[in-house]
DNA sequence: CCTCACTATGTAACTTCTGACATGTCAACT
DNA sequence: AGTTGACATGTCAGAAGTTACATAGTGAGG
C-alpha cells in the first residue's frame, strides 16, 4: 500500500461532480472551459456546475490520477490545459456507475405547491399556468434535439453519445410530467374546485 | 430594527429551507422534532432536511420574527420548544410563493445514464430494471395515499392540506415518468439496439 | 434487569455549491 | 477608437447540506 503509486485511485472516493466530469471526458479530451459549456445541455437538465466548481474539481481528479492534462499557451495570463481521462479514472467511473443511487430530488416549484393554499389563488394559478407554457416550449425544443439525434444514429446503445440521448429522453418525460401537473394545478386553483387528474381541461 | 419593529422581515431574505419550514408550520404549531418527521412525506419526495439543519434554521426564523416559540419541559436535558408562524412569517411566505423558481433539478440516476456506454451493459440494464421495479412499488403506495386523501376531501383547493395532495400528484407523475424511462433504457441496454420510445416491450 | 426504540434538542467538522472578484487575449461590430 | 462577447483559468467568502457527536427521559419487549 505504501510503495505502489496510483494507490489513491482505490481509496479516493470521488464526488458526484468528479464522476460527472469523468463522464464528459469519456466523450473526448476537453478543457475546463469546454466542460463548463458541456454541463449546460443535455447534462445540465439534471446536473449543473459553475466553472468555479469545475476547475478545483479537475485539479483533484488530476491529483488522484483519474485524469491527465497537457498544457498549451492560452489566450489569457495562464496556460490552457486539456484534460483526458486515464485508465484508473475510467475504472473508477465504471465502479461508480453500477452503484444504485439514493439521493432524493429537490424541486422548488413542488415545494411552493405544498404551500399553495397560503398564497393568493389567482397569482398561484398564473405561476403554474406559466410553468405549463414554459414546459410546452422546452418540450418542443427537446423533441427537435431528439429528432436530430435519431437521424445521427445516437439512439443506438452502441453509439458513443447514446448517453446524451438517454438523458434527453428523461428530459422529455420530465417536461411532460411537469406540463400535465402544472395544467391540473392551475385548473384547480383557477376554479377553486377539485379537478380530476388526467381529465383534459379547456385550455 | 432601530425604530420600527418587524423591520427585519422586509429586508431578510430567507433560505429555501426556511420557507419550507414556514409552509409546514402553516399546518399548525410543531416542534423541531415533529418538523423533522414531517419533511419525510409527502414533502420529502421533493425536499429533505436533517434535524441538524432544521434546528439552526428555526433559530434563524425566530430571530427574524417569522416564528414564535413556547417552551415546555422536555424529556431530555433541554426544554421542548413548540413553534408557530407569525403574521410577518406568513407575509414573507406569501411573497416568496409567487416568485417563479429557477433552480434546476439534480438527478444522480440520470447522470449515470449519461455515462451508460462506459459501463457493463448487463449491470446497467439491471440497475434500470431495478429502478423500474422500485418506481412501480412507490407508485402503488402513492396511489393509495392519494385515494385516502380524496376520501378526506383533500383534493379540494379549499382544504387546508390541499398542498399535500398537490405534492403527491407531482410524485405520481414523476414516478410514472421514471418508470417509463427506466423500462425503455433497460430494454435498450438489454437488447443492445435502438428501442422506439413509448413502444411497449415484452416484460 | 437490560436493551431497544422513540421523543427531544443541540453542536462541530466537513463537503458541496453559488456568487463575486480577478486577469488577459482576440475578433467582430459600431 | 471603443465596446461587446467569446475564450480561458483561477481564488475566495459564504451559504447550504451531510455525518457524526453529545445528552437524557419514557415505555415496551425480551
Question: B73 with B113, same domain?
Answer: no
Q: Quick: pLDDT tens for A159-187.
A: 999 999 999 999 999 999 999 999 999 99
- Mean pLDDT across B149-158: 97
Asked whether B46 and B170 are in contact (CB, 8 A), the reply is yes
pLDDT at B11: 57
Mean pLDDT within B119-134: 97
Which residues have C-beta within 8 Å of that of residue A124, sequence separation ≥ 6?
Answer: A112, A116, A189, B97, B98
**E-strand stretches of chain A:** 30-31, 67-72, 80-85
Same domain, B36 and B72: yes
**Do A169 and A118 belong together in one domain?**
yes
DSSP string for A97-118: HTSPP-PPP--HHHHHHHTGGG
Last residue of a domain, one of A70, A97, A124: A97
**Last-in-domain residue among A97, A116, A131:** A97
* pLDDT tens, position by position, B93-117: 999 999 999 888 899 999 999 999 9
Share of chain A above pLDDT 90, in %: 86
Distance B98 CA to D29 C1' (A): 51
Element (H or E) spanning B80, and its range?
strand B80-85
Asked if residue A86 belongs to a domain, the reply is yes
Estimate in Å the CA B79 to C1' C2 gap, whole number.
28
Residues B128 and B79 grouped into a single domain: no
Residue A109 is placed in which grid cell?
416549484
Yes or no, beta carbons of B117 and A163 under 8 Å apart: yes
For residue A110, the chain B residues in CB contact (below 8 A) are 45-47, 167, 170
> Is residue A45 within 8 Å of residue B113, measured between CB atoms?
no
Domain count, chain A: 2
Element (H, E) at A9: helix A8-11
pLDDT of residue A49: 98
What CATH number does the domain containing B46 carry? 1.10.10.10
The pLDDT, as a whole number, for residue B8 is 44
Which residues, in sequence order, are CB contacts of A4 under 8 Å at separation 6+? Answer: none
Q: What tens digit of pLDDT does each residue of B22-81 get?
A: 999 999 999 999 999 999 999 999 999 999 999 999 999 999 999 999 999 988 899 999
Cβ within 8 Å, pair B107-A105: yes
Residue B159 has what DSSP assignment? S
A69 bridge partner residues: A83
Q: Is residue B77 part of a domain?
A: yes
Domain span including residue B144: 108-191
DSSP state of B45: G
- Residue that terminates a domain, selected from A64, A97, A130: A97
Cα angle A106, A35, B106; round to 5: 10
Please report whether residue A201 resides in a domain.
no
Q: Is residue A66 part of a domain?
A: yes
Across chain B, mean pLDDT equals: 93
Q: Are residues B92 and B12 in the same domain?
A: yes
Amino acid at each position: 500500500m505504501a510503495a505502489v503509486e496510483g494507490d489513491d485511485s482505490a481509496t479516493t472516493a470521488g464526488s458526484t461532480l468528479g464522476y460527472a466530469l469523468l463522464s464528459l471526458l469519456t466523450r473526448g479530451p476537453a478543457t475546463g472551459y469546454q466542460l463548463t459549456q458541456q454541463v449546460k445541455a443535455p447534462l445540465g437538465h439534471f446536473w449543473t456546475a459553475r466553472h468555479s466548481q469545475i476547475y478545483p474539481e479537475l485539479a483533484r481528479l488530476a491529483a488522484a490520477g483519474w485524469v491527465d492534462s497537457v498544457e498549451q499557451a492560452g489566450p489569457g495570463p495562464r496556460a490552457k490545459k486539456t484534460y483526458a481521462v486515464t485508465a484508473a479514472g475510467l475504472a473508477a467511473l465504471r465502479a461508480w456507475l453500477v452503484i444504485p443511487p439514493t439521493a432524493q430530488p429537490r424541486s422548488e416549484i413542488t415545494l411552493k405547491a405544498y404551500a399553495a393554499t397560503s398564497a393568493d389563488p389567482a397569482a398561484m394559478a398564473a405561476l403554474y399556468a406559466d410553468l405549463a407554457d414554459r414546459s410546452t416550449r422546452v418540450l418542443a425544443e427537446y423533441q427537435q434535439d431528439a429528432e436530430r439525434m435519431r437521424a445521427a444514429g445516437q439512439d443506438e446503445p452502441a453509439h458513443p453519445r447514446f448517453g446524451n440521448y438517454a438523458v434527453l429522453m428523461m428530459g422529455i418525460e420530465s417536461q411532460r410530467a411537469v406540463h400535465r401537473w402544472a395544467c391540473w394545478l392551475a385548473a384547480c386553483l383557477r376554479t377553486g374546485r377539485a379537478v380530476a387528474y388526467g381529465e383534459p381541461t379547456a385550455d
